[in-house]
Structure 1
Amino acid sequence: MSEQYESYVGYQPVGALDATRRATFISRTYQHLLGAILAFTLIEVLLFRSGVAYPMAQAMLGTSWLLVLGGFMVAGWLFSGMADRAESRAMQYVALAGYVVAEAIIFVPLLVIADYTAPGAIQSAAVATLIGFGGLTAIAMFSGRDFHFLGAALKWAGMAALALIVCGVLFGFELGTFFSVGMIAVAGASILYNTSNVLNRYPEDRYVAASLSLFASVALMFWYVLRLFMSRR
């Protein structure tokens, strides 16, 4: 990620800024992350209370559950790349809004199934995800370590996961509990990596893009924590 910005004229990572400007950037990033989570939650509430979620879930599950999993991953890559390449803050907001809406739609069938088959799993998974995110964020912020080295491993893990999903679609096998556990570990590494970038590598004007990267990691963890909780009911 940071390599992409280094070619920009005047590029200066937040890690090189004074403490006040750095704190402002971090505060703005997490404010936008909170806004994205609240917007995602509001969209889901509206979809379920309006009754639209159920026919949406039926239509999406009429194709292949593994295709939904693939769509979840591709949406993250698409909108994160769009935000990182955006030349204006307005386009960063478009990418963030687009990603929140896309994730809210992609989550619908999973939430519908969880609501029917595992009552209470959604709330439990949400709490577990927030605790995990908070703990990993604290590690990244207070350990003093730079977790940028995780970037290459995350790229390979993402490609391997997508390959497994494609194989599942083609050959008709399910990705079970071990896949969910592995993806939770990937999500945890992604939180460490993206938090480290927020602290050290993003340009000062990219706090919207930074919040999108964190939201993507939170969404990934919530997805697979929820799948794990559902498998235990």
Structure 2
Amino acid sequence: MELASTQQQGYGPARERFISKTFNHLGAALLAFVAIEVILFKSGVAEGIAKTMLGLPWLLIIGAFTLLGWLASRTAHTVESLPVQYAALGAYIFLESIFFVPMFYIADKFAPGAIANAGLITVLGTIGLVAIVYTSRKDFSFLGAILKWGGLLALALIVCSAIFGFKLGIFFDVVMIGFAGAAILYDTSNVIHHYPEDRYVGAALELFASVALMLWYVLRLLISLRD
């Protein structure tokens, strides 16, 4: 999807409303994610989901999640119908919630307190990164190519890890936290400079995906440090 640049148009009321809507939707998405996780764990459903997913080939789970996530993102960015855009965002939040269940289950069993700490670190990190972009108004679109190739390399390493059975280790987690931080900078920059002003749902979805990625690897790191 091509993003319409607004750098030469300034940041008028319409753009500021778009930015506000995007981050309001991001906040709502994060709250919905937390609410779903609480419901899954309080009801006891999470344990069954975790045990089932942990018994499946991890490559199958990653492949299914990647495909469904791409479809949801594509829909939110291209479909004109606002209700369908919201449905895509809701579907993506639900998918992320299910994907996180095994990680939260392991953390709850073997690293008490790690989930809350990871959440706090992720929120503070996200706020700091967003503030950097918003206050400086610097365009981080140059990160796009780096993120594309870095993401492909990370995916290749994850696939090789699953196939050959080696652990990626703490260093990989740290690098991926940095990768997620760069993605948040890139997405925030696109929100401020490039996204069409009617695509706040899709913009919020992209930001939510990057924040979720950071949470995943921060939590992985904290669990690893407990071992």
Instruction: Please provide the CA RMSD for this pair.
Output: 1.9
- Counterpart check, 1:172 vs 2:165: yes
Counterpart mapping for 1:119-198 below 5 A: 119-198=112-191
The number of residues matched between the two structures is: 226
- Give the whole-Å Cα distance in 2 for the aligned partners of 1:14 and 1:26: 14
- Give the whole-Å Cα distance in 1 for the aligned partners of 2:60 and 2:225: 23
- Counterpart check, 1:20 vs 2:9: no
- Give the whole-Å Cα distance in 1 for the aligned partners of 2:21 and 2:7: 13
Q: Structure 1: which 5+ residue stretches go unaligned? A: 7-11
SS, match of residue 212 in structure 2: helix
Cα 1:91/1:107, change in 2 over 3 Å = same
- Give the whole-Å Cα distance in 1 for the aligned partners of 2:39 and 2:8: 40
The answer to whether the 8 Å contact 2:137/2:189 transfers is: no
- Give the whole-Å Cα distance in 1 for the aligned partners of 2:135 and 2:29: 25
* Alpha-carbon offset, residue 172 of structure 1: 1.6
Residue 86 of structure 1 aligns with an amino acid whose one-letter code is: V
SS, match of residue 141 in structure 2: helix
- Give the whole-Å Cα distance in 1 for the aligned partners of 2:154 and 2:131: 27
Q: TM (normalized to structure 2)?
A: 0.93
- Give the whole-Å Cα distance in 1 for the aligned partners of 2:8 and 2:131: 17
Residue 232 of structure 1 aligns with an amino acid whose one-letter code is: L
1:97 to 79, 90, 99: 90
- Give the whole-Å Cα distance in 2 for the aligned partners of 1:159 and 1:34: 28
Identity score, percent:
56
* Alpha-carbon offset, residue 127 of structure 1: 0.3
1:213 to 206, 221, 224: 206
Q: TM (normalized to structure 1)?
A: 0.90
Comparing 64-73 with 200-209, which one deviates more in the overlay? Answer: 64-73
Q: Structure 2: which 5+ residue stretches go unaligned? A: none
- Give the whole-Å Cα distance in 2 for the aligned partners of 1:63 and 1:139: 41
1:223 to 180, 203, 216: 216
The answer to whether the 8 Å contact 1:86/1:92 transfers is: yes
The answer to whether the 8 Å contact 1:14/1:25 transfers is: no
- Counterpart check, 1:111 vs 2:112: no
The answer to whether the 8 Å contact 1:60/1:109 transfers is: yes
Comparing 76-85 with 171-180, which one deviates more in the overlay? Answer: 76-85
SS, match of residue 167 in structure 2: coil
SS, match of residue 232 in structure 1: helix
The answer to whether the 8 Å contact 1:36/1:215 transfers is: yes
